[in-house]
Structure 1
Amino acid sequence: MNSAVLALALMLPSLSFSAGTTEHAEEAGAVHWGRILDTALASSAQTGKPVFALFQEIPGCAGCRQFGREVMSHPLIVEAVETEFIPLLIHNNKPGRDTEVLQRFGEPAWNYQVVRFFNAQAQDIISRKDQVWDAGGIAERMVAALTEAKRPVPAYLKLLAAEHSPRLKQAVLAMYCFWTGEMELGRIDGVITTEAGFMDGKEVTLVRYDPQLISLPQLIAAAEKVECAHAVYVAAAELPAARTMKLKVGTISGYRAAPKSEQKKQISGTAAEKLTLDPGQATKVNAWIRTDPAKALPFLTKSQQAQLKGGA
C-alpha cells in the first residue's frame, strides 16, 4: 500500500465519525445517537417522534461516565430512546457545530448532562429540567414528553418510571400460597412490584403500589376478591386506612423475602424465563404469562417480544 492510499485509509474512520450517526463513548451510554440537529429535526417531522436530546460532557467527569453506564445503558431506556424518539447527542465541551447548538438552546458549556425533548420545530415539548440523573427520573420525563406529544407511551416505560417513584407505598398481604399471591396481586392495576416472602409465620406477598392509581382500601378489597388478603400488614401511618377492612391488620415487622427460587414462579418453565426483566416487568409478566400471555406482551419491549416469540 503506497503512502497516499495509507493516508486516505487512516483518514476514513475520522471522516466517518465526524459525520456519523452513532456514538459509544462511556458518557453517552449504549444508545445509537445521531449527531446533527437538522437531521434529527427532519426525522422528527417525518415520523412524528420527539427528539431526545442529550447534552453531555464527552470526555466527561466521573458523574458523566456513571450516567452513561447506569442510565443511558439501561436496556429499557436504550430501547425506548431508539424506538420512541429520535436520539440526538450534543457535546457540551466541543467547538464548532456542538457549540452552535449549545448557543441556540442556551445550554451552558462544560455542564453536567441535561436531557431535553424537542418537537420538529426545535421547541421544548416539556420544560427543561436540571439534575435528572437516574433511570426513573429520565423515564418519567420520557413518559411526560410522549404524553404531551400525543404519542403512545409503552407500558414498560410507565412501569420503569413508577418503580422509582418516591410516592410508592407498600403493603404485605398473607395468603395460602405466595406463588398465587404474586400472580393474582400482580394483575391489579396500580400494583407495581410484588415479592414472595414470609411474615408472622405465614406465606405473604410484599406489594409496592402507586396510591395515585389505587388506594389502600381498594387494594385490600381487590386482594380479598382473589383470596389473597387473609391478613394485611402496612406501615404504622397506614393503619387507620387498613383498619376499615374486616381483616387482621398489623404493622410490617419481621418480614423476610423468600429465596430467589420461590420468586415469580409463574414465569418458571415458560419462554419468558430466558428474558432479562426489570422488577415491574417481571411482576406483570408473572401475573399473565400462563393464563393470558397476550396481556403480558405490552409490558415487554419490542425486542423482548421478539425474543419471547422466538423462544416459544
Structure 2
Amino acid sequence: MNQLLKQDIPLKDALSLIEEKRNEKAINNLIRQLEQGEALEVAFHSICPKKLWLHLEGFLPFLSFSKALELSIRLLQMENQKKKAMEKKLSYPFLLLVLVSAGSFAFSYFILPTMVKLIGSAAVENQSLKQVERSLRISWIMMGVLSIVVLSFVFLLKMKKVQIVLYRLLSKIYPKSYFVQKGSIEFVEYYLECLRLCLSSQESFHLLSSIQEKPPVHYIASEFDRLLCFGISFQRIYSHRIVEPNLQRFFQLSYFFKDTIPLLERYLAIARDKQNQRLKHFSILLQCFAYGQIAYLLVLMYQVILYPMQFLQKF
C-alpha cells in the first residue's frame, strides 16, 4: 500500500488494489472507519500490527503518513533480520546447554539416587557414590545461581531507564564495549533510514528522539538534538563521546567530505563485522562451557558405572 501511496494513487484505490482474501476484513474495516469520518491515523491504528505501530506512532507527528509508514516498515524489517541472524548464531549453543542441563538433571535425580539406594541396601560403604552425588548437587546449585544472575540481568536490561544508565556509564568508562557499539550501530541504522528519506540531520535527530522503544537511539538522538538547539556546531557534535570512537571518526569524515550516507554505510559494515566476531566468540565460549559440562558428566557417570564392578571384585 505504501508504494502505491508514494505514486499519488488515492487511498481508496490503493486499498482496493492490495485487497486479498487474507486482508479483506481489515481493509473493509479501515474503509468503513474512514467513511465515518475517522482520521487515517486513528483508523489505521485499529488494524496495524503492534510492533509496526510502536514505530509509526512516534513518526506521524513529524512526517506524512506515507513517509512515516515507509520508515516504520524499513526499521521493523531491519530489526527482524537482525533478530533472525542473532537467533541463528546463538540457538545451537543455548540448545546444547539446555540438553546438557536436562541430561545432568535426569542423571542426578533419577539414576544416581537409585544406585545409591541399591548399594546402601547391601550394607556396603558407598562413599564414592555419595561424593558423586554431592558434586552433582554443588554443580546444580552453581548452575542455579548463575541462571538467576543471568535472568536478573536480562530482566533489568528490559527496563528502558536501566539501558540508558548503562549506556551512559559504559560510554564514559568503556566506550569500545559491546553494549556501546550496539547502541551506536542502532542509531546509525535509524539515522541512515531518515537520511534516505531526504530528511536533514537536524530533522532526523528530532525525529529519532521520539523513539521510546529503542532507548540508546532515543538517548543519542536527544543529546544531539539538544546540542544543536544550544548552537553547538555539527563538527563538535560529531566528536561527542556519547557514541563509540570509530563512529566519531566516521562522523568527522562525513562532516569534512560531505558524503554522509556512503561513509556511514561503510561504518555499519565494519561495525557489524566486529559485532559478528564478538557474537561468534561468545557462541564458542558457550559451546566450550557446554562441552566441559558434558565431559564432567561423563566422568561422573563412568565413576558410577565402575563402582558396582569394584564392589563385586571384593567378593
Instruction: Determine which structure has more spread, i.e. the larger CA radius of gyration.
Output: 2
TM over 0.5: no
State the TM-score bracket (shorter-chain normalisation): under 0.3
- Structure ranking higher on relative contact order (CA contacts 8 Å, 6+ apart): 2
TM-score, normalised via structure 1 length? 0.21
TM-score, normalised via structure 2 length? 0.21
Between Structure 1 and Structure 2, the one with more strand by share is 1
